[in-house]
């Protein structure tokens, strides 16, 4: 069983006013098959956690460890992290002009699997996954995210997750900007992957609305660059009623 272990993680970022510490000692364990929801107010450090684990160069890990199945994630390049089984669905997916969705997905699958998937089988696999996500098959020939609506971009992220089958999936505010129909479709895709029991999911969100569709095993409240409280799904209900005020402190983290 794959396990992502984050221990005493401290992360800083360079700003106009100098170095600023964002994460101030994060401890978290995500096992394959588990779903963890990371919740918290704007600026608490949730997205910093996601991008630091994924290897974004903007963020500097000053201390602490991140391991996947005992292997040092922080020593890996970004592509090595992906091949090891880590996946990041970004809050703002980027456009990739000149690269079709079809070529992007097959190239990614080849890198992850170590060999190119057989074309006939792959085309069927992609078509089935797109139909399930209610994506127009014509999207396969469009450039990656170019001209896509917010919902289309997020469905494309979930399409990647379904096809690439990572060990650990980090979903950074996947619900951001989605209407009700798109939220339901994206959530159903996440749940299909969960039901395989083969993916550990770290779901980062501000709001409880996505948790009406995706029931987490664990909920963690982020505040001031740390996990302030952990619990089960009932903790999300508490946040819905009481908000984050009890967890916020003056001078919290940002990013």
DSSP notation for 103-121: HHHHHHHHHHHSSPPPHHH
Rounded average pLDDT over 179-201: 90
Q: Domain for residue 248, yes or no? A: no
Condensed to tens digits (0 to 9), the pLDDT of residues 10-24 reads: 999 998 989 999 999
Q: Domain for residue 249, yes or no? A: no
Condensed to tens digits (0 to 9), the pLDDT of residues 141-161 reads: 999 999 888 888 988 999 999
Condensed to tens digits (0 to 9), the pLDDT of residues 228-251 reads: 999 999 999 999 888 888 887 544
CA 175, 245, 238, 10 torsion: positive or negative? positive
Rounded average pLDDT over 55-75: 96
Local confidence band at 175 (pLDDT 50, 70, 90 cut-offs): confident
Q: Domain for residue 219, yes or no? A: yes
Q: Domain for residue 111, yes or no? A: yes
The DSSP bridge pattern shows strands 218-223 and 35-39 to be parallel
Tell me the angle at which helices 150-164 and 180-195 cross, rounded to the nearest 10 degrees.
10
Q: Domain for residue 132, yes or no? A: yes
Residues 6+ away with beta carbon under 8 Å from 192: 132, 162
**CA-to-CA separations, 225 to 6, 26, 124, 211, in angstroms, rounded:** 14, 7, 44, 22
Residues spanned by the domain of 142: 3-242
**Cα–Cα dist 25/70, whole Å:** 19
Domains in the chain, number: 1
pLDDT over 50 (residue 252): no
pLDDT at 149: 86
Average confidence score pLDDT of the chain? 91
Q: Residue 212 maps to which CATH number?
A: 3.40.50.300
Residue 43: CA count within 13 A, CB half-sphere: 10
Q: Both tokens of residue 10? A: 């401290």
Rounded average pLDDT over 23-36: 96
**Cα–Cα dist 186/140, whole Å:** 18
Q: Domain for residue 250, yes or no? A: no
The DSSP bridge pattern shows strands 200-205 and 18-31 to be unpaired
pLDDT at 250: 43
Rounded to two decimals, what is the model's pTM? 0.89
pLDDT at 249: 54
Q: Domain for residue 251, yes or no? A: no
The DSSP bridge pattern shows strands 168-172 and 200-205 to be parallel
Local confidence band at 47 (pLDDT 50, 70, 90 cut-offs): very high
195-199 LR contacts (CB < 8 Å, sep 24+): 196/165, 197/32, 197/33, 198/32, 198/33, 198/165, 198/167, 199/32, 199/33, 199/161, 199/165, 199/166, 199/167, 199/168, 199/169
- β-bridge mates for residue 220, sequence order: 38, 230
Q: Domain for residue 168, yes or no? A: yes
- β-bridge mates for residue 35, sequence order: 201
Q: Both tokens of residue 119? A: 């074309």
pLDDT at 7: 98
pLDDT at 42: 85
- Pick the residue with more confidence: 67 or 92? 67
Rounded average pLDDT over 96-118: 92
């Amino acid at each position: 069983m794959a396990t992502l272990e984050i221990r005493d993680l401290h992360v800083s970022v360079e700003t106009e006013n100098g170095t600023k510490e964002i994460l101030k000692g994060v401890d978290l364990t995500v096992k394959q098959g588990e779903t963890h929801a990371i919740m918290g107010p704007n600026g608490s450090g949730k997205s910093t956690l996601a991008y630091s684990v994924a290897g974004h160069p903007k963020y500097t890990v000053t201390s602490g460890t991140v391991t996947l199945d005992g292997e040092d994630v922080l020593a890996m390049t970004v592509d090595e992290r992906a091949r090891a089984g880590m996946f990041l669905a970004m809050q703002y997916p980027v456009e990739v002009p000149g690269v079709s969705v079809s070529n992007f997905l097959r190239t990614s699958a080849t890198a992850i699997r170590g060999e190119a998937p057989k074309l006939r089988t792959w085309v069927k696999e992609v078509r089935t996954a797109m139909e399930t996500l209610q994506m127009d098959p014509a999207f396969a020939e469009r450039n990656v995210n170019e001209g896509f609506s917010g919902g289309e971009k997020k469905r494309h992220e979930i399409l990647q997750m379904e096809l690439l089958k990572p060990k650990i999936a980090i979903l950074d505010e996947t619900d951001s900007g989605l209407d009700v129909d798109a939220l339901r479709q994206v959530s159903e895709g996440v749940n299909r992957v969960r039901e395989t029991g083969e993916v550990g999911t770290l779901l980062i969100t501000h709001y409880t609305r996505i948790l009406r569709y995706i029931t987490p095993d664990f909920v963690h409240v982020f505040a001031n660059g740390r996990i302030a409280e952990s619990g089960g799904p009932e903790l999300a209900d508490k946040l819905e009623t009481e908000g984050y005020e009890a967890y916020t402190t003056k001078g919290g983290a940002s990013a």
